[in-house]
A and B are shown apart, each in its own frame.
Chain A
Amino acid sequence: MWRVTIKGLLAHKLRLGLTALAIVLGVMFIAGTFVLTDTLNNTFQTLFGNIYQKIDFQVRGVAEFGSGGNATRNPIPESILPTVRAVPGVAAAQGSVEGYAQFIGHDGKAISTGGAPTLGLSFDPNAQISELRIVNGTAPTTPHDVVMDLGTAQKYDFKVGDQVRILLSGPTQTFTITGLARFGTADNLAGATLAAFDIPTAQRLMGEVGQFDFIDVVASQGANKATVQRDIAQSLPRGVEVVTGQTVVNEETSAISQALGFFSTALLVFGFIALFVGAFTILNTFSIIVGQRTKELALLRIVGASRRQVFRSVLGEAAIVGLVSSLIGLGLGVLAAIGLEALLKGFGITLPSGPIVFEARTVIVCLVVGVGVTVVSAISPARRAVRIAPVAAVSEQQVEYDISMRRRFTWGAVITLLGVLSLTVGLTEPAIQLVGLGALLIFVGVARLAPAVARPMSSVIGRPLARLLGTSGKLGRENSMRSPRRTAQTASALMVGLALVSVIAVFGASVSRSTTSSIDNAIAADLIVSNSNNNGPGAFSTTVPKAVSSVPGVTASTVVYAGQFEFKQSIENLKAVSTYHLSKTLILNMASGSAGSLAAGDLLIDTTTANSNHLTVGDRVPVKFALTGNSTMRVGGIFQTNSLIGSYLISDAFYVSHVQNPQPGAVLLTTDGSPSVEQAVNRALAPYPNVQVQSRAQFEEAEASQVNQLLGLVYALLALAVLIALIGIVNTLMLSVFERTHEIGLLRAVGMKRRQIRAMIRSESVILAVFGAVIGIVVGTALGIALVSSLHSQGITDTVVPGSSLVIFLILAALLGLVAAGWPARRAARLDVLAAIAAE
């Protein structure tokens, strides 16, 4: 039986080749994601390992909130350094500060990294401790000296002796580059830019005079490290801890792994979506193959193949196809990893480079998933193959399998309902797994129900084609109506693809509109000053607010800070605003209490938070700020939820006194209305190339374009699924042409031109594509609306169905259908008339 399976495979290379392509693409994507994230993980791990290579211990502030690499810690007093140095067994110890410092390039623009930090730090000349090595020039010694990382210097053309302006948390300053440095053997720190100052300068610039962020310690050779660590710990004041260098490496690495984990999960989701769509294509191909091999399978049954052997043969065929394509996909995955990196780079997300990592897990997951999806998809066709009666080989009558149609619809309805149920629970809970499961079930259910509407819908969609193209269009329409089940199965893959695209379209349009309306509902100011680097820290110099608010024509200004605090034991984002001109720049729709209570040091919360925590004006709530520790705050007012403002609001005075080194995130300006004010503000911002000023309309546009950028990325990732759906259509059409060789020959014999044959196949393809697209768009729009309305309390207040986008999708689907028909149509037109008629 194996011989039959393998020979069958070899004989049908073409039709299986297209099926395999669906798996190859999906597996390739998954493999690529794994390789990419593993590589990045490894890069960072190596990086942190190198940085802390020589460091035995680190003395630092305890985590005020958060933990590990993500913790918020306070600086420690400088005076601890001599204490630590005095501990027996300590060979060397050096205090460091770290903070924000961003170079300005020769072109006057801020040098941004696209995600990696722009670090300012103190330079430690002690080679025993630091991995930062001067490769050219000398160490910084005066308040005007800076050492730049070699990578940045090379990329932006800086040399030793050059002057460079640096953006800081205070005013922008000019420094002289005294040296260029590298980290161990790396030219820079995973894409970060480094500005190293001498210790007192760094302390001053980072706002930590007399303080360190941490002290790195090297133990003497032969010293008992546990004893040394214990002795250091005993010498430290409250709120300061000592940990091993390895702990720090592990913390940093796991923080990065966690971040990469989200990233890789997001990418894997798209990989699985692609395979899910691929599953429909496989199911369809195998159904058709089984249909075409009815006689052969029946013959095998006659000469003694058992049902089990036939079943295994079909599944075995699927397993081999799955295995081969998974292996190819795996190989291409490495290329995909490089491709993904390029794609992300195109969207402005830069990642550090490192050697490619190819783990056993990648191989196992890809093979299991690739083979699994193929085999599972082939189960239903295999079961149909088993039901073929042996007589089918010898009797002329066509055996019909319509008996199961009613059962099929019942099941389809049940699955769809289960999906809707799961989705509803998932959205209200909220539980993302249930949402995913629900969507999956709905797709499967709808795909099973689709044959019910395939005939009438194909008829409607095909009518204009029939009118336009005459006989060819009419025949194409009839062909698409001939087997509703096949039409529906083929269209299913495209249905899923377009449903997802539509969900994203509805979601994106709603988010976009909600952002705009939340800006309109929150900001009364005419101009908004903010950091121009969307991927950066988002904060800027403390001197900016003064510079812009003193511009003539500015009538009111409000400084906005964004930070974190602990609210009832959970870490939350909060915003702080200056209260003086608040009513002229910010719109706070108070549900109760007053905005004026901010000035008294009260906390304002939004209605959503108030409702979920059962809080009313006058209640006191436990809060914690990193610098000042636990306290309570009075709820001074409750305002209508607005996603731009966020859930928690305090005064700037309170914020500045409770947070280490506060930096503003935005300034809202109200002007006298003269158009020259914006230019004047721009001039005032000249020393701060990382800061921009926007009118409210520009700000809204920028926010919307950020949403659109993300949508672009998602569309690009979904394109893979649509591509696979398209392969499915090509495959089905090829098989149909093959199956109808005789019929096409007959049409040619009675006078149909090649052009007309092509038009016929194309019509069929367009009908298939539009059918799938219509169902997909309907299902997707419904899912999108459900999703958006469940996120109402999360700030997506407006539900928008982007009609024009959906129409464009439909037209695109029709065009894609046309493209998919290209090859099958040519092949059909090229059939030799005589041979086609002679073919059985």
Chain B
Amino acid sequence: MALTDQEITNQREATPAAHAIDLRKTYGMGQATVNALDGVNVTFERGRFTAVMGPSGSGKSTLMHCMAGLDRPTSGQTFVGDLDIGHLDDAALTQMRRDRIGFVFQSFNLVPTLTAGENITLPADLAGRKVDQDWFDYLVKQLGIGDRLHHRPSEMSGGQQQRCACARALINRPDLVFADEPTGNLDSISTTEMLSFLKQSVTELGQSIVMVTHDPRGASYADRVVFLADGNVVDELEQPTADSVLERVRTLGS
């Protein structure tokens, strides 16, 4: 399953996994107008693990929602691969999300009535596609949830639920995975496991991941950190460590 270094390099040099041009998103009208995104230009490279950091209200989540086609920007362009998703209608947008994007959320967001296994195959089921059984088995094994497949989310620990959500995000082999504070509700052991898995899926599978996070230690697993403040990209950091991220956060805060 793992790709060679050469393949990964080739992928990285192709079109970026996603990028945004002059992205703006405003909420409210008149005096109460809030510029959640104020002309953001950002690129998420293919086959890399990018962390997005910033204080509360900096526009992290809005950026992710807009770039993943969950929310429509007020102006500007967003691309997934070379596809301009601004022009897509709801049906096309839905299909794009289903086939090209995976999601991991802070609050797991599993369908409570389905078992873990059914939750994982949900995107494939929705697409009416047959599940790639080898790929399914591989993911389940890597994430260590093989013995949990027939359990309902309510019968699983937070860590198990989040791993299940991870498997669901990857089942359709998406171009890009958006992870929104994926470790926000996890204990420290589960957090480490989760971040390691994400990192591993980038290095071994060439997966592209964008992770919104608060946690400098989490961001240190990424290949690159993008800092957001007041709806703008204010800084970037390549090959971060926990210390360098913390350092940068501190400077940005002052």
- A interface, CB within 8 angstroms of B: 1, 3-4, 7-8, 10-11, 295-296, 299-309, 389-391, 393-395
Contacting residue for B122 out of A8, A295, A303, A394, CB 8 A: A303
Asked if residues A305 and B94 are in contact (CB atoms below 8 Å), the reply is yes
| B109 contacts chain A at the CB level, 8 A cutoff | yes
Separation in Å of the B148 CB from the closest CB of chain A? 17
Contacts of B90 in A (CB 8 A): 306-307
Contacting residue for A390 out of B70, B112, B113, B127, CB 8 A: B70
Asked if residues A4 and B111 are in contact (CB atoms below 8 Å), the reply is yes
- A-contacting 9-mer, from B10-18, B74-82, B98-106, B222-230: B98-106
Asked if residues A296 and B112 are in contact (CB atoms below 8 Å), the reply is yes
Q: Range of interface residues on chain B?
A: 20 to 34
Separation in Å of the A80 CB from the closest CB of chain B? 80
Contacts of B103 in A (CB 8 A): 302-303
Contacting residue for B118 out of A3, A304, A305, CB 8 A: A3
Enumerate B85-143 residues with CB–CB distance to A below 8 Å.
90-91, 94-95, 97-99, 103, 105, 109, 111-114, 118, 122-123, 125-127
In the assembly, what is the distance between CA of A455 and CA of B61, in Å? 37
Separation in Å of the A290 CB from the closest CB of chain B? 15
| B60 contacts chain A at the CB level, 8 A cutoff | no
Separation in Å of the A753 CB from the closest CB of chain B? 30
Contacts of B123 in A (CB 8 A): 303-304
Asked if residues B111 and A296 are in contact (CB atoms below 8 Å), the reply is yes
Contacts of B61 in A (CB 8 A): 394-395
* CB-defined A-B contacts under 8 Å, sample of 27: A1-B126, A3-B125, A4-B111, A4-B114, A4-B122, A295-B109, A296-B112, A303-B97, A303-B123, A303-B168, A304-B94, A304-B95, A304-B98, A304-B99, A304-B127, A305-B94, A305-B98, A306-B90, A309-B126, A389-B70, A390-B70, A390-B97, A391-B71, A393-B109, A394-B65, A394-B70, A394-B105
In the assembly, what is the distance between CA of A390 and CA of B125, in Å? 18
Separation in Å of the B89 CB from the closest CB of chain A? 10
Contacts of B118 in A (CB 8 A): 3, 7
Contacts of B97 in A (CB 8 A): 302-304, 390
Asked if residues B113 and A4 are in contact (CB atoms below 8 Å), the reply is yes
Contacts of A299 in B (CB 8 A): 109, 111
In the assembly, what is the distance between CA of A4 and CA of B113, in Å? 7
Asked if residues A7 and B113 are in contact (CB atoms below 8 Å), the reply is yes
Asked if residues A306 and B95 are in contact (CB atoms below 8 Å), the reply is yes
Contacts of A391 in B (CB 8 A): 65, 70-71
Beyond A7-B111, A295-B109, A307-B94, list 14 extra A-B contacts (CB 8 Å).
A4-B113, A7-B113, A7-B118, A300-B122, A303-B98, A303-B126, A303-B168, A304-B95, A304-B123, A305-B98, A307-B91, A308-B91, A390-B70, A395-B61
Enumerate B54-74 residues with CB–CB distance to A below 8 Å.
61, 65, 70-71
Contacts of B175 in A (CB 8 A): none
- Which 4 pairs, one residue from A and one from B, show the smallest C-beta to C-beta distance? A304-B98, A7-B113, A11-B113, A306-B94
Separation in Å of the A313 CB from the closest CB of chain B? 10
Separation in Å of the A298 CB from the closest CB of chain B? 9
Contacts of A4 in B (CB 8 A): 111, 113-114, 122
Contacting residue for B91 out of A3, A295, A306, A393, CB 8 A: A306
Please name the residue on chain A nearest to B121 by beta carbon: A3
Contacts of B98 in A (CB 8 A): 303-305
Q: Which of A10, A300, A391 has the most CB of B within 10 A?
A: A391
Please name the residue on chain B nearest to A309 by beta carbon: B126
Contacts of B114 in A (CB 8 A): 3-4, 7
In the assembly, what is the distance between CA of A789 and CA of B221, in Å? 83
Contacts of A305 in B (CB 8 A): 94, 98, 126
| B180 contacts chain A at the CB level, 8 A cutoff | yes
- B interface, CB within 8 angstroms of A: 61, 65, 70-71, 90-91, 94-95, 97-99, 103, 105, 109, 111-114, 118, 122-123, 125-127, 168, 172, 180
Contacts of A300 in B (CB 8 A): 111, 122, 126
Asked if residues A1 and B125 are in contact (CB atoms below 8 Å), the reply is yes
Please name the residue on chain B nearest to A9 by beta carbon: B113
Contacts of A11 in B (CB 8 A): 112-113
Contacts of B65 in A (CB 8 A): 391, 394-395
Contacts of B111 in A (CB 8 A): 4, 7, 296, 299-300
Q: Which of B91, B113, B168, B180 has the most CB of A within 10 A?
A: B113
Please name the residue on chain B nearest to A392 by beta carbon: B70
Known: A1-B126, A304-B94. A394 touches B109 (CB 8 A): yes
Asked if residues A8 and B113 are in contact (CB atoms below 8 Å), the reply is yes
Contacts of B105 in A (CB 8 A): 393-394
Contacts of A307 in B (CB 8 A): 90-91, 94
Contacts of B122 in A (CB 8 A): 4, 300, 303
Contacts of A7 in B (CB 8 A): 111, 113-114, 118
In the assembly, what is the distance between CA of A697 and CA of B118, in Å? 77
Please name the residue on chain B nearest to A299 by beta carbon: B109
Please name the residue on chain A nearest to B124 by beta carbon: A304
Contacting residue for B70 out of A302, A306, A309, CB 8 A: A302
Contacts of B113 in A (CB 8 A): 4, 7-8, 10-11
Separation in Å of the A312 CB from the closest CB of chain B? 11
Separation in Å of the A465 CB from the closest CB of chain B? 36
Please name the residue on chain B nearest to A305 by beta carbon: B126
Known: A3-B118, A393-B109. A304 touches B71 (CB 8 A): no
In the assembly, what is the distance between CA of A305 and CA of B126, in Å? 6
Known: A303-B98, A304-B94. A394 touches B126 (CB 8 A): no
In the assembly, what is the distance between CA of A597 and CA of B49, in Å? 110
Separation in Å of the A583 CB from the closest CB of chain B? 83
In the assembly, what is the distance between CA of A299 and CA of B127, in Å? 15
Q: Which of A3, A304, A393 has the most CB of B within 10 A?
A: A304
Separation in Å of the A111 CB from the closest CB of chain B? 65
In the assembly, what is the distance between CA of A302 and CA of B172, in Å? 13
